[in-house]
Amino acid sequence: MIKNVTVIGSGTMGNGIAHTFAQNGFNVNLVDVNTQALEKALLTIQKNLDRQLSKGVISEDVKTSTLKNITMHTDIKLAVVNANLVVEAATENIDLKLKIFKELDEHSPVGAILASNTSSISITKIASVTKRPDKVIGMHFMNPVPVMKLVEVIRGYATSDVVTDTIMELSRKLDKMPVEVNDYPGFVANRILMPMINEAIYTLYEGVAGVEEIDTVMKLGMAHPMGPLQLADFIGLDVCLAIMHVLYDGFGNPKYAPCPLLVNMVTSGNKGVKSGIGFYDYSGGTKDLVVAAKFKKIK
């Protein structure tokens, strides 16, 4: 039975995952090497709980119990000692994830399930650095985690049926809709989404239309709640680029080659919302979208 959950990484996805488990009655250890990052994560969780409270989604008692269920840690060894499940939500970097999973395998209880929130990196590859590949699985949550229903449950080559069934059922207990997928580059969500975003960037790069025009076509014509360029900004252009590299390296197909404009933007530090500027300028906040100066004119 899973009761104690450790979440590795306190960024956008990590704090959202911690919030979701804690709100559903699980004991959560949230881990980050940076104390300031943990403090920021707690403030974010409190703010999101207040938003839920103001909308009548939760009660004051639920907010209080959720916060009580979360403990902050900077030491992975201490944070996983009693874990039934560990969910890694660190940066989308293969070397970092392999390093974390070696450490998790060494210090977590023998029966603990090790999950990754990776959006594209092979679960089989991650599992290969552990002595428990049958207990390694993907739990790809969507952002914002407390709101979005989907969880992609990714089976690695050696992931057992028991572990897969456990995580599927656990996801339902979180009031999520789990979808089981197999371990191939990009899984389902990003194998479809990222090439679309990349093509939208190519459409801008080649001067077919401007930022607002491209996003408007997809919102009004295809009923997307957010245009692909705005969505790329919210995901993080660096994350989009990293996933495109995974797809390109994994399949060796030129259709997955990242657009040169995407490469240049990430190289220059324009990563979207997180850096304050991407295809849109977020210096005034995210409510009133303003197209970044560089893209105001179609070349």
* 215 and 269 part of one domain: yes
Q: How far is CA 64 from CA 21, 148, 204, 227, in A?
A: 14, 22, 47, 36
Do 94 and 242 contact (CB within 8 A), yes or no? no
* 147 and 289 part of one domain: no
Residue type, position 81, single letter: V
298: pLDDT strictly greater than 70? no
* 90 and 210 part of one domain: no
The answer to the question of residue 206 being in a domain is: yes
* 128 and 228 part of one domain: no
Do 194 and 248 contact (CB within 8 A), yes or no? no
Residue type, position 15, single letter: N
Domain, as residue range, for 241:
190-293
The answer to the question of residue 298 being in a domain is: no
Distance of CA 196 to the CA centre of its chain: 18
Phi, psi values for residue 178, rounded to 5°: -80, 145
Per-residue pLDDT, 287:
65
Own/partner long-range contacts of 285-292 (Cβ < 8 Å, ≥24 apart): 289/230, 291/210, 291/211, 291/212, 292/211
Instruction: List active site positions.
Output: 119, 140, 152, 190
223: pLDDT strictly greater than 60? yes
* 127 and 220 part of one domain: no
DSSP helix/strand/coil, 14: helix
The answer to the question of residue 8 being in a domain is: yes
DSSP helix/strand/coil, 91: coil
Per-residue confidence band for 234, with pLDDT thresholds at 50, 70 and 90: very high
CA 277 – CA 275 distance, rounded (Å)? 6
Per-residue pLDDT, 296:
76
Q: Which of 150, 182, 214 is the last residue of a domain?
A: 182
pLDDT in tens, 179-203: 999 999 999 999 999 999 999 999 9
- CATH number, domain at 280? 1.10.1040.10
* 125 and 76 part of one domain: yes
Q: Which of 117, 149, 182 is the last residue of a domain?
A: 182
Mean pLDDT of 236-253: 95
Return the percentage of the chain with pLDDT > 70, whole number. 98
CA 175 – CA 255 distance, rounded (Å)? 36
The answer to the question of residue 272 being in a domain is: yes
Phi, psi values for residue 8, rounded to 5°: -100, 115
Mean pLDDT of 238-264: 96
What six digits make up the tokens of 179? 């979808």
Per-residue pLDDT, 294:
86
Total count of domains within the chain: 2
* 288 and 206 part of one domain: yes
Q: Which of 154, 182, 210 is the last residue of a domain?
A: 182
The answer to the question of residue 48 being in a domain is: yes
pLDDT in tens, 50-108: 999 999 999 999 999 999 999 999 999 999 999 999 999 999 999 999 999 999 999 99
Per-residue DSSP letter, 72: E
Do 219 and 95 contact (CB within 8 A), yes or no? no
The answer to the question of residue 277 being in a domain is: yes
256: pLDDT strictly greater than 80? yes
264: pLDDT strictly greater than 60? yes
The answer to the question of residue 299 being in a domain is: no
* 171 and 212 part of one domain: no
Return the percentage of the chain with pLDDT > 90, whole number. 94
* 132 and 159 part of one domain: yes
Q: Could you tell me the sign of the dihedral formed by the alpha carbons of 147, 65, 153, 177, in that order?
A: negative
* 150 and 266 part of one domain: no
Residue type, position 215, single letter: D
* 38 and 156 part of one domain: yes
213-247 CB burial, b ≥16 within 10 A, e <16? ebbebbeeeeeeeebbbbbbbbbbbbbbbbbbbbb
* 202 and 177 part of one domain: no
Per-residue DSSP letter, 27: E
- CATH number, domain at 103? 3.40.50.720
**What average pLDDT does the structure give for the chain?**
96
Phi-psi region of 159 (alpha: psi -120 to 50; beta: other; left: phi over 0): beta
Per-residue DSSP letter, 134: G
